[in-house]
Amino acid sequence: MQEAVSAILLIIGSAFMFIAGLGIVRMPDLFMRMSCATKASTLGVGFILLALAVHFGQFGVSSRATATIIFVVVTAPVAAHMIGRSAYIVQVPLWKNSIIDHLCDRYDRCKLELGSYAHERTDDPGGD
Rama region for 100: left / alpha / beta (φ>0; ψ in -120 to 50; rest): beta
What's the 3-state SS for 107-125?
A: HCCCCHHHCHHHHCCCCCC
Asked whether residue 103 carries a pLDDT value surpassing 50, the answer given is yes
Its pTM stands at: 0.73
pLDDT in tens, 39-98: 899 999 999 999 999 999 899 999 999 999 999 999 998 999 898 888 888 888 888 887
Q: What angle do CA 79, 92, 83 make, to 5 degrees?
A: 5
CA distances (Å), 29 to each of 25, 26, 74, 82, 91, in order?
10, 9, 24, 16, 12
Cβ atoms 118, 101 nearer than 8 A:
yes
What pLDDT was estimated at residue 108? 64
Phi and psi for 32 in degrees, rounded to 5?
Answer: -70, -40
CA distances (Å), 44 to each of 16, 21, 41, in order?
5, 11, 5
In the chain, how many H helices and how many E strands?
4, 0
